[in-house]
Every structure is written in C-alpha cells, then in structure tokens.
A = this chain, B = another copy of it.
Amino acid sequence: MSAPANFIDFIDNNADKFIQRLADAVAIPSISGDASRRGDVVKMALFLDNQLKSYGVETKLVDLGEHTLEGQQLKLPPAILGKIGTDPKKKTVLIYGHFDVQPAELSDGWDTDPFTLTIDKATGRLIGRGSSDDKGPILGWVNILEAHKSLGLELPVNLKFCFEGMEESGSEGLDDLIESEVKKGKGGWFDGVDCVCISDNYWLNTRTPAITYGLRGLTYFKLNISGPGRDLHSGVFGRTVHEPMTDLVKLMSRLVDPDGKILIPGVDEMVDAPSEAERAIYDNLDYNIADIEESAGSATALSSDKATVLMGRMRYPSLSIHGIEGAFHGVGAKTVIPAHVGGKFSIRLVPPQTPENINPLVVSYLEAEFAKLNSKNKLDIECLHGGKPWVENFNHWNYEAAKKATEAVYKKTPDLTREGGSIPVTLTFAESLGVNVLLLPMGRGDDGAHSTNEKLDRSNFIEGTKLLGTYLYEVAAITSKA
C-alpha cells in the first residue's frame, strides 16, 4: 500500500505554497540560544500550533518553566503536544521535531539574509536558517496534514506530535515533560504510541536517501591542574616550579593517538570488531573518502579505506581534544606560566559504552598517569556532562516501512547509517516509551545545518514530504499484514 496517487499529486501541485510556508517560518528568527530572541521562539510556537490546529490536530502548549540565559531568568518556550486520530485499529506514530534554530547573522559570512528564505532557481536551493534544521522537516508533516484535509483523505495511522523550541540549547525541560507524561500511564499524552519517527538529521551524501539507526553517546571531561597561587612570569619562575601546562600536555598526549586509537585501557577494547556482514554495510554505503574530505575541507582522512573511516564515525568511540581553559589563548607572545589550567576533551560512546562504565576507566587511568609525572601540582578531574549511545533494531517494521517508502519515492535503496553525534531526545523516547525509534532524514549531507548559508534543496523538501507521508502508509500496510 503505497501512498495514494492523489496525495503525491497534491504535494507536487502545492510545492510553491509549501515553500511559501517555509519562507514564513524561516522569517521568524526563533533562536533559542539568544535571550533577545525568546519572543520569536514563542512566536514560532504559535505559528506552528496554528498550522497544526487548522489541519485538524488537537494541540496543547505546555509550559516548561523557566531557566537562566545570559544572566537573565527567562520563561522557556512552550512545547507543543498534538494528536490526530484515535482509531484503535491503526498504529499510532509519534513525530518529534524542533522549531528553534541556531544563531545566524549576515556578518557570519552568509551570502544572503539568513532569515529571508532565498530561492536559488539555478540550483533549487532554499537558503535560510532553519530551512533544513528543522523547519523544513516539521513543515513536511504539516504539508501531509494539509494534503489529507484538503483531499478528504483519512490518515493511515494515528499521529501524535511532540515539537520543542529548545533543541539547539540542550532541550531544557523536554525530558521532564516526556517522563511526566509517561508516568501518567493511560492518561498520558504518549499512551498508545507504537513507534517514533524523528526527521532531524541528514543523508550521508548529496545523492542517496538514508535511514539512521544509531547515535553515539558522549562523556565530556575537564582535567584541572592547579599549581601556583597566581599566574607567574616565565622569566622569574621558569625551571623553579612545576608548571601546570607541562603536566596537562603530558596527560592530554596520552589520551589518543594521531590515528584515532584511544589510549585509555579498556575503552576501545569494549567494542567488538565488526562481523563480515556488518562491515559489508559500511562497504556498501554510498559514501567515499572524497566525500569525507570534501566535507572536512581537507585531505586528512584517517585511512584510505572507506569502511574504516565510516566505522570510525559511526560504530567506534572517538576521543577529541577541544582546548584549554585558563591558558594563554590570545594573539602575541605572552610569557606567562598559567596557574590553573583545565584541559577539555570528550569521548563519543557506542554500545555497550556508557558514561557509567567509561568514566571510571578514564579517571583511574589519568590519575595513574598523573602519579607517574611526579608533579607537585594538583589534578582534579571533572565530568562536565554525558549521555548514553543509542542503537536501534533496524529489523523492525518501523524501519521496513521507512525503507519501502524511500524505495517508492526515490527509487533507491537507502543508506543504513549511524550518526557520530547525539540527539539526546532519541534515547529518552526509546527508553521511556519502550518502542522502536526511527531517524528519517529529509535533508542532504551538505545542508550546513549549523553553518552559514544553511539550505534545503527544493527536491528534498518536496520529495521528502512525499517520503514522510508514504512512510505512514507503509507503516499501516506492514503492520496490518503482520
């Protein structure tokens, strides 16, 4: 049961209207990380709420309380909960998305005003902040609702929605909301949900649609080394006292090798080598070293073997050193011995790694390495934050439906991918609802989600709307057979 032809036709015939709605949404600078834009995030919530209601969705704006930003006490933007359809014979699909965006200013290097959707006729690019992350995808769902309402078509599944306005700023308040609704049991908003679909990531490349079944977790450390009572002059104190920077670079040099191998005993070892079958997944992905190096902007991939590099991103942990707090960081040649330095690094985690089983390995290793230095300085290891990895069972009807929908719309087998980064709400849904969660991206790998000149290709917006709609029909088809 593919989507009905009149649904597909409606999407094609109303493309310009959909693009105008995206332009209206992009015009609202709903930057969650900028206190002065908080009113715009609320405005965007009301815009979306209105759209949902006008196409028959029952909604509820949820007050998530307050938080502190830039020293100000601010009300959090409301989350939007929605539902349409209560047919007990149908599956219930929960849709997640976010209506806030990353900061953007023309002076950052944008070629056009970031909050005016610019349509590049030659390339088909729809350029503007939030076009791909995540206003395009959430309006994809709205497009589907409009199509069904206009055509008098019945939706193939019951839908529930959870849209938030704080995703780009740590999703504050969202976990609490989800958990309190789940606790309500029968009366809770998410009661009866059979699976989750999140459209908030990207294809690997610019050619092949993707379905994503894994995200890495994270544990972030700050290595504090304290020595002198104040910053010292290197002329007066050089070679008289233990210098915190000397100790810190020694410790940080023992974390990871240039080829990416993690030197903390037990961390890499916790992850099994891939089977032949799993390795074949990576060999078969439509992605190559040139794609990786183009997106990194340099010919510095860790290997010339594509599967090795892709597994490094998707199925192995990684350790990156981010920088140092408290050391000299300006231009010029200051001859300071910094008194207190905090080295920052983080480890991306994959199952079965969690902050709980990794952090003790990190701490005991670094304490032992520090002891070897025979330094009189003091080491204090802080874990700044962390989150578990998520890997979903892709042999599930939820993924089957997404695969069939992709083949129907794009005439291609999707890349089955894992992402190197994190979308924490994915794990919250998976763990608290206990249902299968699917990531079904709309945009391409070069959309530049958090960068300048963010874009969504017109074809990805329109075909992507068809994809999300077709996915709902495939869910209904597969599960009615089962």
- A-side residues, CB < 8 A to B, are 216, 218, 220, 222, 227-230, 232-243, 245-247, 249-250, 252-254, 256-260, 292-293, 296-302, 309-310, 312-313, 316-325, 327-339, 344, 346, 348, 373-377, 384-385, 419-422, 450-451
Chain B residues lying within 8 Å of A241, measured Cβ to Cβ, are 292-293, 296, 298, 300-302
Query: Given known contacts A236-B421, A300-B375, what 12 new A-B pairs fall within 8 Å (CB)?
Result: A216-B235, A218-B235, A218-B335, A230-B451, A234-B318, A236-B420, A241-B296, A300-B377, A320-B335, A323-B327, A323-B334, A333-B384
Which of these, B318, B335, B344, contacts A220 with CB under 8 Å? B335
> Contact at A420–B333, with CB atoms within 8 Å?
no
Known: A229-B298, A336-B322. A258 touches B247 (CB 8 A): yes
> Contact at B322–A234, with CB atoms within 8 Å?
yes
> Contact at B324–A323, with CB atoms within 8 Å?
yes
Closest residue of chain B to A372 (Cβ to Cβ) is: B258
11 sampled A-B residue pairs with Cβ under 8 A: A216-B235, A222-B333, A235-B420, A236-B421, A237-B313, A238-B313, A242-B300, A246-B257, A249-B253, A299-B376, A323-B336
Which of these, B232, B239, B321, B332, contacts A249 with CB under 8 Å? B321
Docked pose: A421 CA to B239 CA in angstroms: 12
Chain B residues lying within 8 Å of A247, measured Cβ to Cβ, are 258
> Contact at A227–B346, with CB atoms within 8 Å?
no
> Contact at B346–A234, with CB atoms within 8 Å?
yes
Known: A234-B318, A297-B228. A240 touches B330 (CB 8 A): no
> Contact at B333–A220, with CB atoms within 8 Å?
yes
Which of these, B338, B346, B374, contacts A259 with CB under 8 Å? B374
Chain B residues lying within 8 Å of A237, measured Cβ to Cβ, are 296, 313, 420
Closest residue of chain B to A422 (Cβ to Cβ) is: B235
> Contact at B323–A233, with CB atoms within 8 Å?
no
> Contact at A316–B239, with CB atoms within 8 Å?
yes
In the complex, the count of this chain's copies comes to 2
> Contact at B312–A239, with CB atoms within 8 Å?
yes
Known: A235-B421, A252-B249, A298-B228. A338 touches B313 (CB 8 A): no
Docked pose: A241 CA to B332 CA in angstroms: 29
Docked pose: A377 CA to B250 CA in angstroms: 20
For the complex of A and B, the 9 pairs showing the least CB-CB separation, nearest first, are: A229-B297, A235-B421, A238-B318, A323-B328, A323-B327, A239-B312, A253-B253, A239-B318, A329-B329
Chain B residues lying within 8 Å of A227, measured Cβ to Cβ, are 296, 298, 300
Closest residue of chain B to A303 (Cβ to Cβ) is: B240
Known: A253-B249, A298-B228. A240 touches B335 (CB 8 A): no
Docked pose: A4 CA to B256 CA in angstroms: 71
Docked pose: A274 CA to B258 CA in angstroms: 41
> Contact at A302–B238, with CB atoms within 8 Å?
no
Docked pose: A179 CA to B264 CA in angstroms: 57
